[in-house]
């Protein structure tokens, strides 16, 4: 998975290959909710 921050738009992207798993203003490394939504789109669940 790849995490990118577009500073000019202040948007974070989490992608795997050509699929965008998360796109939003919250940093996925600091927000468990954003990371959970990205993993859920990939078919994984975060425990605890």
Would you say the pTM of this structure is higher than 0.75? no
- Residue pair 30/40 in contact (Cβ under 8 Å)? The answer is no
Low-confidence ranges of the chain (pLDDT < 70): 45-48
Residue 34 lies inside a defined structural domain of this protein: yes
pLDDT of residue 35: 78
pLDDT of residue 47: 61
Distance CA 9, CA 17 (A): 22
Residue 48 lies inside a defined structural domain of this protein: no
Domain that holds residue 27: 2-42
Name the domain count of the chain: 1
Residue 47 lies inside a defined structural domain of this protein: no
């Amino acid at each position: 998975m790849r995490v990118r921050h577009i500073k000019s738009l202040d948007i974070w992207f989490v992608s795997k290959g050509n699929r965008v798993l998360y796109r939003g203003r919250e940093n996925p490394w600091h927000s468990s909710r954003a990371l959970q939504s990205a993993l859920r789109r990939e078919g994984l669940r975060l425990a605890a």
